[in-house]
Amino acid sequence: AFVFASVLAVIPLVIAAVSILATFLILLGLSYVTQVSFVVEFLVSLIGLGIAIDYSLLIVTRWREERGNGLANRDAILMSMATAGRSVALSGVTVGVGLLALIVLPVPLLRSTGIGGVLIPVISITVVLTLLPVLLSLIGERLDWPHRRIARSGSPSWHRIGEIITGHAWPSLIIAGGLVIVFALPVLGIRLGQDQATSQSSSTPASVAYHSLLGTGYTAGILTPIEVISSPAKAAHIDTILHTVPGIVASALPAGRSGTRTGLADTIAIPNVETVNSATFAPVNAVTSLAKHDPSIIGVSGLGANDLDSAHAIYGQTPLMLAVIAILTFILLSTALKSIVLAIKAVVVNLFSLAATFGILTWFWQSGHLSRLVFGIPATGAITFWIPISIFAFLFGLSMDYEVFILTRIREEYDTFGSTRTAIVNGLSRTGKLVTSAAIILFLAFASLASAPLTDIRVLATGLGIGILVDATIIRGIAVPALIQLFGRTNWWMPTWWSEFGNKQTTT
């Protein structure tokens, strides 16, 4: 209602409802052939709501603009689909590319999250590009009431912001860059793992029992025992060696079937710390190293060992995965924007945006500076393994949405006027309010997701919400236009052969 000041506000909600229900229907079918994580239900409902509304806003806003320029309704719809519709398609594909990071991982939870996540933009762009033009054709003009705001020109406030940024490009870039660096610094101390026991509410029965144990002299490592599997004949030997391993304070072979069965012995080692994150895995690494050099040890298990395996499975191929996603995104953007420089800038700036997001997330949750104040939860001491890669997969594409919205319009204005500064100012005036509104809507969706009772879901939602706000304001609102102004005509360079290829693809 704020964006349109008319009954048109209903249309994006209708599109979102159809998109979400269609996505759930497909997930229902998938659930008969594969496991679907419960996390996907939250994501489809709330991210699906935000994306469908964002895409609808872009097209409906452009339709109103073309109607304000005097085009007939059908012609305005065709023009909107040829411009804003193309941006929506590109944005949806970009979001899907980012989620490849989850689909290719050998972790069922993340793979199902990735598959469900990919469905969100795919179904959203399908509904937006098919149902939305029909609605605008049939009832769009009647719903555009009370006609108090006709979009013939851009936002005056964003026009002024564009003039300030382009007139003071270096100061704007330094301010934005300084903020990003400050926000990103805490990420240098990020720890990956499980929440510490101390991060739980002190009034719960489990927490009371835990502190009672510590009060009698037990170490926190009693919560994360390390299990060393061997033959029964070697169990005494293993027990003796474990007492000499750094970080192990006690070990024993439980009597009876608790320690020995089916030809295997399970010797229990107690570490001196709770082995739940990358800063406390030293005892696990020491025992694992011992197992590699002692053939009598069949295997090592326990919470810490499982967490280490999870970390290797999730992040072992991360550099290669990030490189593939960056290259695919670069190819998509350079072809759509007809610019090598703008595509490279978009990918690089996105990585800085992610660094700032992870820094704030570390400061917020791991260090606990805001987690207790906002949610009443003490410092977690670490960020759960699957959360950073999930935030990257979703945020990389979602934040690129706003890059596409802004850059495609700037490119269009440059093709019309031939001036970089004019293109930036006009592009911001046309898209600044739209991007800000879209970001607020998506942030509210994540804020709703943060009300879930699970701490991990709250951490995920916080990271996504913070990332969207940082990206839409500091990155896309200040840094991107400042960089484009500084690059000048270099922005629009592209090899002739690539440009011809892109034109053929666009025509197709």
Q: Could you give the CA distance from residue 418 to residue 409 in angstroms, rounded to a whole number?
A: 13
Highest mean pLDDT among 47-51, 120-124, 447-451: 120-124
How high is the pLDDT of residue 395?
A: 87
On the question of pLDDT at 202 being above 60, the answer is no
| Length of the chain as a residue count | 508
Task: Copy the structure tokens of residue 355.
Answer: 């660094």
Q: Could you give the CA distance from residue 77 to residue 153 in angstroms, rounded to a whole number?
A: 18
| List of residues 6+ apart from 400 with CB closer than 8 A | 91, 94, 95, 98, 329, 346, 350
Q: Could you give the CA distance from residue 366 to residue 404 in angstroms, rounded to a whole number?
A: 33
Highest mean pLDDT among 142-156, 157-171, 297-311: 157-171
On the question of pLDDT at 406 being above 60, the answer is yes
On the question of pLDDT at 316 being above 80, the answer is no
How high is the pLDDT of residue 16?
A: 92
Cα separation values, 373 from 207, 210, 347, Å: 20, 24, 34
Query: Domain ranges in the chain?
Result: 1-152, 160-218+314-508, 219-313
CATH class of segment(s) 160-218+314-508: mainly alpha
On the question of pLDDT at 473 being above 70, the answer is yes
Segment (H or E) for 337? helix 318-337
Task: Copy the structure tokens of residue 136.
Answer: 């605008």
Interval 214-266: pLDDT, tens: 777 777 888 888 888 988 888 888 888 888 888 888 888 888 777 788 888 88
How high is the pLDDT of residue 165?
A: 94
Task: Copy the structure tokens of residue 372.
Answer: 């207790």
Interval 150-159: pLDDT, tens: 555 678 888 9
Helix (H, G, I), strand (E, B) or coil at 135: helix
Interval 69-107: pLDDT, tens: 889 999 999 999 998 898 899 888 888 888 877 887 777
How high is the pLDDT of residue 98?
A: 81
For 435-453, letters b (16+ CB in 10 Å) and e give: bbbbbbbbbebbebbbeee
DSSP β-ladder status, 226-230 and 264-271: antiparallel
- At 331, the amino acid letter reads I
On the question of pLDDT at 172 being above 80, the answer is yes
Q: What are φ and ψ of residue 196, in 5° steps?
A: -75, 155
| CB-count burial class (<10 Å; 0-12, 13-18, 19+) for 178 | exposed
Q: What are φ and ψ of residue 277, in 5° steps?
A: -150, 175
Helix (H, G, I), strand (E, B) or coil at 401: helix
- In terms of Cα–Cα distance, which of 122, 132, 101, 104 is closest to 47? 122
Highest mean pLDDT among 295-299, 383-387, 422-426: 422-426
Render 335-359 in DSSP notation, one character per residue: HHHT-HHHHHHHHHHHHHHHHHHHH
DSSP assignment, residue 250? Answer: E
Q: Could you give the CA distance from residue 357 to residue 76 in angstroms, rounded to a whole number?
A: 38
- Tell which wins on pLDDT, 135 or 397: 135
Residue that the structure tokens 């594969």 belong to: 34
Q: Could you give the CA distance from residue 502 to residue 496 in angstroms, rounded to a whole number?
A: 10
Q: Kindly report which listed range (187-201, 320-334, 455-469, 494-508) carries the lowest average pLDDT score.
A: 494-508
How high is the pLDDT of residue 238?
A: 86
Task: Copy the structure tokens of residue 49.
Answer: 């709501």
Report residue 147's pLDDT band, with 50, 70 and 90 as the boundaries: low
Cis previous bond, 146, omega within 30? yes
How high is the pLDDT of residue 168?
A: 94
> Global pTM?
0.82
Instruction: Considering the domain delimited by 1-152, tell me its CATH architecture.
Output: Up-down Bundle (1.20)
| List of residues 6+ apart from 127 with CB closer than 8 A | 15, 18, 19, 22, 52
* Residues linked to residue 230 through DSSP beta bridges, in sequence order: 265, 297
- Tell which wins on pLDDT, 505 or 431: 431
Interval 338-390: pLDDT, tens: 888 888 988 899 899 999 999 999 999 998 899 888 888 888 888 988 889 88
How high is the pLDDT of residue 108?
A: 78
On the question of pLDDT at 325 being above 90, the answer is no
- In terms of Cα–Cα distance, which of 298, 297, 304 is closest to 242? 297
What's the whole-number average pLDDT of the chain? 85
Cα separation values, 485 from 406, 421, 490, Å: 14, 6, 10
Per CATH, 1-152 and 160-218+314-508 having the same topology is answered yes
| List of residues 6+ apart from 356 with CB closer than 8 A | 179, 180, 183, 184, 470, 474
| List of residues 6+ apart from 20 with CB closer than 8 A | 44, 45, 48, 49, 52
**What whole-number percentage of the chain has pLDDT above 90?**
24
Q: Nearest 5 degrees, angle CA 355-CA 326-CA 499?
A: 130
CATH of domain 219-313: 3.30.70.920
Task: Copy the structure tokens of residue 311.
Answer: 């970390």
DSSP assignment, residue 146? Answer: S
